Amino acid sequence: MTKALIILTGSLLSLATMAQKPSIEFNVLDANKDGLISKGEAQAEAKLSADFDKLDLNKDGLLSKAELAAFNDLEKTIKN
């Protein structure tokens, strides 16, 4: 019984985590599915496009998943 409760609680927690998904979905932006967001792809999100150069930490003109995650973290920080 306790075990079932723990499993249930665990599922609820993962649901809660899923609800807090990143404000911007990497997979949605990555139109050509090459695993990187180009400047063109970033234009789908005005805010992301505006901050593109700031987020492109290694200045390769592309945003990696990690770089986008940094953007989403920043967004959360601003909201809180």
CA 43/CA 63 separation, integer angstroms: 12
Q: What is the DSSP letter of 45?
A: S
Q: Which is nearer to Ca ion, 30 or 51 (CB)?
A: 30
Q: Which is nearer to Ca ion, 14 or 58 (CB)?
A: 58
C-beta of 44: minimal distance to Ca ion in Å? 11
C-beta of 53: minimal distance to Ca ion in Å? 17
CA 62/CA 19 separation, integer angstroms: 27
List interacting residues with Ca ion (CB under 5 A): 30, 32, 34, 36
Q: Give me the amino acid identity at 70.
A: A
The residue to which tokens 């050509």 are assigned: 32
C-beta of 38: minimal distance to Ca ion in Å? 5
